Amino acid sequence: MRHFDHIDTADRKHLFYRQPRRFDRHADPEVLAVALGATLYSPATRPTLADDVTKAHRRGVISMVICLEDSIGDADVSAAEANAVEHLRRVHAAGSDAPLLFVRVRTPEQIGDLAARLGDAVELVSGFVLPKFTAANGEAFLDALGETAERTGRRLLAMPVIESREAVYRETRAELLQDVALLLAKHRERILAVRLGATDMSSAYGLRRPPDLTIYDIQPVAGVIADVVNILGRADGTGFVVTGPVWEYFSAGERMFKPQLRQSPFEAQRAAPLRQRLITSDLDGLIREVHLDKANGLTGKTVIHPSHVAAVHALSVVTHEEYCDAADILGVAGGGAMASSYANKMNEAGPHRAWAERLMLRAHVFGVAAEDVTFVELLDAAGGR
Protein backbone atom coordinates (compact mmCIF):
# COMPACT_ATOMS: atom_id res chain seq x y z
CA MET A 1 0.00 0.00 0.00
CA ARG A 2 1.05 3.60 -0.47
CA HIS A 3 -0.36 6.97 0.52
CA PHE A 4 -2.00 8.88 -2.36
CA ASP A 5 -2.01 5.73 -4.50
CA HIS A 6 -5.69 6.38 -5.21
CA ILE A 7 -4.93 9.49 -7.28
CA ASP A 8 -3.79 9.62 -10.90
CA THR A 9 -0.11 8.83 -11.59
CA ALA A 10 0.37 12.01 -13.61
CA ASP A 11 -1.07 14.08 -10.74
CA ARG A 12 1.29 12.41 -8.29
CA LYS A 13 4.29 13.22 -10.48
CA HIS A 14 3.27 16.88 -10.49
CA LEU A 15 2.54 17.05 -6.77
CA PHE A 16 5.60 15.37 -5.29
CA TYR A 17 9.30 16.18 -5.23
CA ARG A 18 9.79 12.77 -3.61
CA GLN A 19 7.01 10.23 -3.98
CA PRO A 20 5.52 8.42 -0.97
CA ARG A 21 7.08 4.97 -0.67
CA ARG A 22 5.26 1.67 -0.62
CA PHE A 23 4.94 -0.43 2.54
CA ASP A 24 2.83 -3.35 3.70
CA ARG A 25 1.25 -4.54 6.93
CA HIS A 26 4.45 -6.45 7.77
CA ALA A 27 6.68 -3.36 7.64
CA ASP A 28 8.76 -2.15 10.57
CA PRO A 29 6.39 -0.86 13.30
CA GLU A 30 8.35 2.41 13.33
CA VAL A 31 7.24 2.96 9.72
CA LEU A 32 3.68 1.74 10.27
CA ALA A 33 3.18 4.01 13.27
CA VAL A 34 3.85 7.09 11.13
CA ALA A 35 2.00 5.64 8.12
CA LEU A 36 -1.28 5.25 10.06
CA GLY A 37 -2.28 8.77 9.06
CA ALA A 38 -5.99 9.40 9.55
CA THR A 39 -7.25 6.32 11.39
CA LEU A 40 -10.91 5.86 10.55
CA TYR A 41 -13.06 4.42 13.35
CA SER A 42 -16.18 2.42 12.50
CA PRO A 43 -18.67 0.77 14.88
CA ALA A 44 -18.53 -3.03 14.59
CA THR A 45 -22.33 -3.06 14.21
CA ARG A 46 -22.24 -1.53 10.71
CA PRO A 47 -24.37 -3.77 8.43
CA THR A 48 -22.18 -2.79 5.45
CA LEU A 49 -18.86 -3.24 7.24
CA ALA A 50 -17.17 -5.34 4.53
CA ASP A 51 -18.10 -2.80 1.86
CA ASP A 52 -17.04 0.05 4.14
CA VAL A 53 -13.58 -1.50 4.52
CA THR A 54 -12.98 -1.98 0.80
CA LYS A 55 -14.43 1.42 -0.14
CA ALA A 56 -12.29 3.12 2.49
CA HIS A 57 -9.17 1.58 0.99
CA ARG A 58 -10.12 2.84 -2.47
CA ARG A 59 -10.58 6.36 -1.03
CA GLY A 60 -7.08 6.47 0.40
CA VAL A 61 -7.70 5.25 3.96
CA ILE A 62 -4.59 3.43 5.20
CA SER A 63 -5.69 2.50 8.74
CA MET A 64 -9.07 1.63 10.17
CA VAL A 65 -10.38 0.58 13.59
CA ILE A 66 -13.42 -1.64 14.03
CA CYS A 67 -14.80 -0.60 17.40
CA LEU A 68 -16.40 -2.93 19.94
CA GLU A 69 -16.20 -0.44 22.78
CA ASP A 70 -17.77 2.99 23.32
CA SER A 71 -19.32 3.30 19.85
CA ILE A 72 -21.77 0.46 20.55
CA GLY A 73 -24.23 -0.17 23.35
CA ASP A 74 -23.55 -2.66 26.11
CA ALA A 75 -26.43 -4.83 24.94
CA ASP A 76 -25.03 -5.01 21.40
CA VAL A 77 -21.59 -6.48 22.13
CA SER A 78 -22.36 -10.07 21.11
CA ALA A 79 -24.07 -8.98 17.91
CA ALA A 80 -21.23 -6.60 17.13
CA GLU A 81 -18.62 -9.33 17.59
CA ALA A 82 -20.53 -11.66 15.28
CA ASN A 83 -20.96 -8.92 12.70
CA ALA A 84 -17.27 -8.00 12.75
CA VAL A 85 -16.19 -11.63 12.38
CA GLU A 86 -18.64 -12.25 9.54
CA HIS A 87 -17.61 -9.18 7.55
CA LEU A 88 -13.87 -9.59 8.04
CA ARG A 89 -14.14 -13.18 6.89
CA ARG A 90 -16.08 -11.92 3.88
CA VAL A 91 -13.34 -9.41 3.01
CA HIS A 92 -10.71 -12.14 3.39
CA ALA A 93 -12.60 -14.67 1.27
CA ALA A 94 -13.04 -12.13 -1.51
CA GLY A 95 -9.33 -11.32 -1.50
CA SER A 96 -10.22 -7.63 -1.34
CA ASP A 97 -7.61 -5.00 -0.62
CA ALA A 98 -8.02 -3.52 2.84
CA PRO A 99 -6.37 -0.86 5.00
CA LEU A 100 -4.37 -1.75 8.09
CA LEU A 101 -7.16 -3.10 10.31
CA PHE A 102 -7.35 -2.96 14.09
CA VAL A 103 -10.07 -4.05 16.48
CA ARG A 104 -10.89 -1.99 19.55
CA VAL A 105 -11.85 -4.45 22.25
CA ARG A 106 -13.45 -4.06 25.65
CA THR A 107 -11.74 -6.87 27.55
CA PRO A 108 -8.50 -8.87 27.23
CA GLU A 109 -10.53 -12.05 26.69
CA GLN A 110 -12.00 -10.69 23.46
CA ILE A 111 -8.58 -10.67 21.79
CA GLY A 112 -8.08 -14.43 21.77
CA ASP A 113 -11.76 -15.16 21.23
CA LEU A 114 -12.07 -12.95 18.17
CA ALA A 115 -8.83 -14.28 16.67
CA ALA A 116 -10.09 -17.84 17.03
CA ARG A 117 -13.45 -17.00 15.47
CA LEU A 118 -11.79 -15.20 12.55
CA GLY A 119 -9.78 -18.26 11.55
CA ASP A 120 -7.59 -17.54 8.54
CA ALA A 121 -9.12 -14.05 8.28
CA VAL A 122 -7.07 -13.04 11.33
CA GLU A 123 -4.29 -12.24 8.86
CA LEU A 124 -6.26 -9.09 7.99
CA VAL A 125 -5.90 -7.83 11.56
CA SER A 126 -2.75 -5.85 12.26
CA GLY A 127 -3.51 -5.50 15.95
CA PHE A 128 -5.85 -4.35 18.69
CA VAL A 129 -6.73 -1.03 20.29
CA LEU A 130 -6.71 -1.27 24.09
CA PRO A 131 -9.17 1.16 25.75
CA LYS A 132 -8.81 3.09 29.01
CA PHE A 133 -5.30 1.76 29.34
CA THR A 134 -3.56 1.86 32.71
CA ALA A 135 -0.68 -0.06 34.24
CA ALA A 136 -3.24 -1.93 36.37
CA ASN A 137 -5.29 -3.33 33.47
CA GLY A 138 -2.71 -3.09 30.71
CA GLU A 139 -0.69 -6.18 31.65
CA ALA A 140 -3.70 -8.43 31.07
CA PHE A 141 -4.38 -6.85 27.66
CA LEU A 142 -0.76 -7.18 26.54
CA ASP A 143 -0.43 -10.74 27.84
CA ALA A 144 -3.58 -11.74 25.94
CA LEU A 145 -2.17 -10.10 22.82
CA GLY A 146 1.12 -11.95 23.17
CA GLU A 147 -0.58 -15.31 23.74
CA THR A 148 -2.83 -14.79 20.73
CA ALA A 149 0.08 -13.80 18.51
CA GLU A 150 1.99 -16.92 19.56
CA ARG A 151 -1.00 -19.19 19.00
CA THR A 152 -1.87 -17.77 15.58
CA GLY A 153 1.69 -17.24 14.39
CA ARG A 154 0.77 -13.67 13.45
CA ARG A 155 2.38 -10.41 14.47
CA LEU A 156 -0.25 -8.50 16.41
CA LEU A 157 0.45 -4.93 17.50
CA ALA A 158 -1.12 -2.91 20.29
CA MET A 159 -2.38 0.65 20.39
CA PRO A 160 -3.19 1.52 24.03
CA VAL A 161 -5.54 4.47 24.56
CA ILE A 162 -4.82 6.97 27.31
CA GLU A 163 -8.27 8.12 28.42
CA SER A 164 -8.97 6.84 31.95
CA ARG A 165 -9.95 9.21 34.74
CA GLU A 166 -6.72 8.36 36.56
CA ALA A 167 -4.83 9.66 33.53
CA VAL A 168 -6.91 12.83 33.46
CA TYR A 169 -6.96 13.93 37.08
CA ARG A 170 -3.86 15.84 38.12
CA GLU A 171 -3.29 14.07 41.44
CA THR A 172 -3.00 10.62 39.77
CA ARG A 173 -1.80 11.49 36.26
CA ALA A 174 1.97 11.64 36.68
CA GLU A 175 2.25 8.36 38.56
CA LEU A 176 -0.09 6.59 36.14
CA LEU A 177 1.79 7.77 33.05
CA GLN A 178 5.14 6.80 34.55
CA ASP A 179 3.79 3.32 35.36
CA VAL A 180 2.37 3.02 31.84
CA ALA A 181 5.74 4.04 30.40
CA LEU A 182 7.44 1.21 32.31
CA LEU A 183 4.83 -1.31 31.18
CA LEU A 184 5.02 -0.26 27.52
CA ALA A 185 8.83 -0.40 27.62
CA LYS A 186 8.55 -4.01 28.80
CA HIS A 187 6.41 -4.84 25.76
CA ARG A 188 8.02 -2.39 23.33
CA GLU A 189 8.12 -4.81 20.39
CA ARG A 190 4.32 -5.03 20.45
CA ILE A 191 3.47 -1.32 20.89
CA LEU A 192 2.68 0.39 17.59
CA ALA A 193 1.47 3.77 18.88
CA VAL A 194 -0.23 5.44 21.84
CA ARG A 195 -3.65 6.90 21.15
CA LEU A 196 -5.43 9.73 22.99
CA GLY A 197 -9.07 9.44 24.02
CA ALA A 198 -10.04 13.09 24.07
CA THR A 199 -13.77 12.34 24.31
CA ASP A 200 -13.32 10.44 27.57
CA MET A 201 -10.86 13.04 28.82
CA SER A 202 -13.43 15.78 28.21
CA SER A 203 -16.12 13.66 29.83
CA ALA A 204 -14.18 13.67 33.11
CA TYR A 205 -14.98 17.40 33.32
CA GLY A 206 -18.41 17.29 31.71
CA LEU A 207 -17.03 19.03 28.62
CA ARG A 208 -17.39 18.73 24.87
CA ARG A 209 -15.47 21.00 22.55
CA PRO A 210 -17.46 22.84 19.85
CA PRO A 211 -16.33 22.68 16.22
CA ASP A 212 -15.13 26.30 16.33
CA LEU A 213 -12.43 25.37 18.86
CA THR A 214 -9.56 22.89 18.86
CA ILE A 215 -8.81 20.47 21.64
CA TYR A 216 -5.90 22.76 22.60
CA ASP A 217 -8.43 25.46 23.52
CA ILE A 218 -9.90 23.10 26.14
CA GLN A 219 -7.25 23.66 28.77
CA PRO A 220 -7.95 20.73 31.14
CA VAL A 221 -7.60 18.30 28.21
CA ALA A 222 -4.69 20.16 26.62
CA GLY A 223 -2.80 19.70 29.89
CA VAL A 224 -3.31 15.94 29.74
CA ILE A 225 -2.07 15.80 26.15
CA ALA A 226 1.03 17.77 27.11
CA ASP A 227 1.83 15.33 29.91
CA VAL A 228 1.28 12.28 27.70
CA VAL A 229 3.71 13.64 25.13
CA ASN A 230 6.13 14.60 27.89
CA ILE A 231 6.28 11.08 29.32
CA LEU A 232 5.32 8.75 26.46
CA GLY A 233 6.37 10.72 23.37
CA ARG A 234 9.99 11.61 24.09
CA ALA A 235 12.55 11.68 21.28
CA ASP A 236 15.30 10.04 23.34
CA GLY A 237 14.58 6.48 22.26
CA THR A 238 12.19 5.74 25.13
CA GLY A 239 9.10 7.30 23.55
CA PHE A 240 6.39 6.12 21.17
CA VAL A 241 4.39 7.71 18.39
CA VAL A 242 1.44 9.49 20.02
CA THR A 243 -1.51 10.01 17.68
CA GLY A 244 -3.82 13.02 17.52
CA PRO A 245 -7.20 12.90 19.30
CA VAL A 246 -10.47 12.34 17.51
CA TRP A 247 -12.15 14.99 15.40
CA GLU A 248 -15.83 14.22 15.88
CA TYR A 249 -17.63 16.74 13.64
CA PHE A 250 -18.71 16.11 10.07
CA SER A 251 -21.63 18.44 9.37
CA ALA A 252 -22.15 22.15 9.74
CA GLY A 253 -24.22 23.85 12.36
CA GLU A 254 -24.59 27.48 13.29
CA ARG A 255 -21.15 29.09 13.50
CA MET A 256 -20.18 31.41 16.32
CA PHE A 257 -16.68 32.33 15.08
CA LYS A 258 -15.17 33.24 11.75
CA PRO A 259 -13.70 30.54 9.49
CA GLN A 260 -10.16 29.47 10.36
CA LEU A 261 -8.89 29.18 6.77
CA ARG A 262 -7.23 32.18 5.13
CA GLN A 263 -8.59 33.03 1.70
CA SER A 264 -5.32 33.79 -0.08
CA PRO A 265 -3.91 30.23 -0.45
CA PHE A 266 -7.18 29.09 -2.00
CA GLU A 267 -7.50 32.13 -4.24
CA ALA A 268 -3.96 31.57 -5.54
CA GLN A 269 -4.97 28.05 -6.60
CA ARG A 270 -8.39 29.17 -7.84
CA ALA A 271 -9.91 26.90 -5.25
CA ALA A 272 -12.37 29.22 -3.51
CA PRO A 273 -15.21 26.65 -3.87
CA LEU A 274 -13.03 24.08 -2.10
CA ARG A 275 -12.48 26.51 0.78
CA GLN A 276 -16.20 27.12 1.08
CA ARG A 277 -16.94 23.39 1.17
CA LEU A 278 -14.35 22.86 3.90
CA ILE A 279 -15.91 25.63 5.97
CA THR A 280 -19.44 24.36 5.41
CA SER A 281 -18.37 20.91 6.63
CA ASP A 282 -16.52 22.36 9.64
CA LEU A 283 -13.27 20.95 8.26
CA ASP A 284 -11.48 24.25 8.78
CA GLY A 285 -11.46 23.40 12.48
CA LEU A 286 -10.00 19.97 11.74
CA ILE A 287 -7.27 21.51 9.59
CA ARG A 288 -6.28 23.93 12.34
CA GLU A 289 -6.25 21.15 14.93
CA VAL A 290 -4.02 18.93 12.78
CA HIS A 291 -1.55 21.83 12.50
CA LEU A 292 -1.54 22.08 16.28
CA ASP A 293 -1.24 18.30 16.67
CA LYS A 294 1.95 18.36 14.60
CA ALA A 295 3.33 21.36 16.47
CA ASN A 296 2.76 19.54 19.78
CA GLY A 297 4.47 16.31 18.76
CA LEU A 298 1.48 14.20 17.66
CA THR A 299 1.45 12.09 14.50
CA GLY A 300 -1.70 11.06 12.62
CA LYS A 301 -5.24 11.45 13.93
CA THR A 302 -8.37 9.55 14.89
CA VAL A 303 -11.29 10.41 12.58
CA ILE A 304 -14.89 9.23 12.36
CA HIS A 305 -15.82 10.14 8.77
CA PRO A 306 -14.11 9.46 5.42
CA SER A 307 -14.33 13.16 4.52
CA HIS A 308 -11.69 13.87 7.19
CA VAL A 309 -9.01 11.65 5.69
CA ALA A 310 -7.84 13.84 2.80
CA ALA A 311 -7.20 16.84 5.06
CA VAL A 312 -5.13 14.84 7.56
CA HIS A 313 -3.08 13.20 4.81
CA ALA A 314 -2.52 16.40 2.84
CA LEU A 315 -1.19 18.05 6.00
CA SER A 316 1.06 15.05 6.64
CA VAL A 317 3.01 15.53 3.41
CA VAL A 318 6.40 17.08 4.11
CA THR A 319 6.84 20.46 2.45
CA HIS A 320 9.80 21.09 0.20
CA GLU A 321 11.08 23.70 2.66
CA GLU A 322 10.86 21.30 5.62
CA TYR A 323 12.67 18.62 3.64
CA CYS A 324 15.49 20.97 2.67
CA ASP A 325 15.90 22.06 6.29
CA ALA A 326 15.98 18.47 7.55
CA ALA A 327 18.45 17.37 4.88
CA ASP A 328 20.77 20.28 5.74
CA ILE A 329 20.59 19.49 9.46
CA LEU A 330 21.25 15.77 9.01
CA GLY A 331 24.09 16.51 6.61
CA VAL A 332 26.14 18.22 9.32
CA ALA A 333 28.24 16.34 11.85
CA GLY A 334 29.42 17.91 15.08
CA GLY A 335 26.75 20.55 15.56
CA GLY A 336 26.71 24.18 14.56
CA ALA A 337 24.21 26.63 13.11
CA MET A 338 23.47 27.62 9.52
CA ALA A 339 21.01 29.69 7.54
CA SER A 340 18.24 27.63 5.96
CA SER A 341 18.18 26.93 2.22
CA TYR A 342 15.11 29.16 2.03
CA ALA A 343 17.04 31.93 3.83
CA ASN A 344 14.25 32.54 6.34
CA LYS A 345 15.38 30.78 9.51
CA MET A 346 18.34 29.40 11.44
CA ASN A 347 18.92 25.64 11.53
CA GLU A 348 20.94 24.22 14.41
CA ALA A 349 22.36 20.76 13.70
CA GLY A 350 22.27 19.68 17.34
CA PRO A 351 18.93 20.83 18.76
CA HIS A 352 17.02 20.29 15.50
CA ARG A 353 18.37 16.80 14.74
CA ALA A 354 15.60 14.83 16.47
CA TRP A 355 13.00 16.91 14.60
CA ALA A 356 14.80 16.27 11.30
CA GLU A 357 14.98 12.52 11.89
CA ARG A 358 11.27 12.33 12.63
CA LEU A 359 10.44 14.47 9.63
CA MET A 360 12.44 12.22 7.29
CA LEU A 361 10.45 9.22 8.47
CA ARG A 362 7.23 11.08 7.65
CA ALA A 363 8.69 11.99 4.26
CA HIS A 364 9.32 8.29 3.66
CA VAL A 365 5.63 7.38 3.91
CA PHE A 366 3.84 10.61 2.92
CA GLY A 367 6.33 12.00 0.42
CA VAL A 368 7.74 15.48 -0.11
CA ALA A 369 5.68 18.09 -1.93
CA ALA A 370 7.09 19.68 -5.06
CA GLU A 371 8.57 23.11 -4.51
CA ASP A 372 5.58 25.02 -5.88
CA VAL A 373 2.87 22.71 -4.52
CA THR A 374 0.75 23.82 -1.57
CA PHE A 375 -1.50 22.06 0.90
CA VAL A 376 -4.47 23.26 -1.16
CA GLU A 377 -3.38 21.30 -4.24
CA LEU A 378 -2.64 18.21 -2.18
CA LEU A 379 -6.02 18.38 -0.49
CA ASP A 380 -7.80 18.90 -3.80
CA ALA A 381 -6.07 15.89 -5.36
CA ALA A 382 -6.53 13.66 -2.30
CA GLY A 383 -10.27 14.11 -2.30
CA GLY A 384 -11.07 17.48 -0.79
CA ARG A 385 -13.59 18.19 -3.52
List the binding residues: 200
| Cα angle 164-169-173, degrees, rounded to a multiple of 5 | 80
Q: In whole angstroms, what is the distance from residue 121 CA to residue 100 CA? A: 13
The amino acid present at 123, given as its one-letter code, is E
> Is residue 175 classed exposed, middle or buried when 0-12, 13-18 and 19+ CB atoms within 10 A define those classes?
exposed
Binding residues for Mg(2+), by number, are 200
Nearest to 246 by CA among 198, 210, 300, 310: 198
